[in-house]
Amino acid sequence: MTTAEQRKAFGEALRRALDAARMSGRGLARELGLAPASVSKWLRGKTTPPPETVARVERCLSVSPGTLSRPLGYVLVNERSDHGSSSVAEAVNSDQSLGPRERAVLLAVYRELVRQYGAAHGDSIEPEG
């Protein structure tokens, strides 16, 4: 579930991406095969699309992966990463519902789990972030 702040941030990021692509909300809806009302709701921060649709929007608008998904707190899976630690750190840091203390606790727990996993499997994995 996204917060009002995340929906607003997504709508603003989407507006910037549309402007940069010189595309209207209706044009994006047409490209995605969706109702223009859906895109309008995204732009106004009323609703947000599911992660797979956000990825399609990013591709359609030729923006970098994460440009629109990060404001929603969606995790990007880095296919070249062995353990995805940067994606976890990015997700924790982009979640606006968490305060600084909660972020620090989650990242500390994650780093410890990665350290323990590496020790148990004979690896020396050090998480990023």
Here the tokens at position 69 are 């998904």
Reported as a single tens digit per residue, the pLDDT across 24-49 is: 999 999 999 999 999 999 999 999 99
- Please tell me what DSSP assigns to residue 89: H
CA-derived radius of gyration, the chain = 17
- Looking at residues 12-29, what average pLDDT do you find? 96
Arch. (CATH architecture) of 4-72: Orthogonal Bundle (1.10)
Alpha-carbon distance values, 5 to 18, 48, 94, 121, 129 (Å)? 20, 12, 11, 41, 24
Output the CA torsion 71→108→76→99 (10° steps): -10
pLDDT at residue 66, rounded to an integer: 87
Distance of CA 59 to the CA centre of its chain: 14
pLDDT in tens, 70-119: 899 886 655 444 444 456 777 787 777 888 899 889 888 888 887 887 76
pTM of the model: 0.61
Can you tell me which residue has the tokens 């797979």?
52
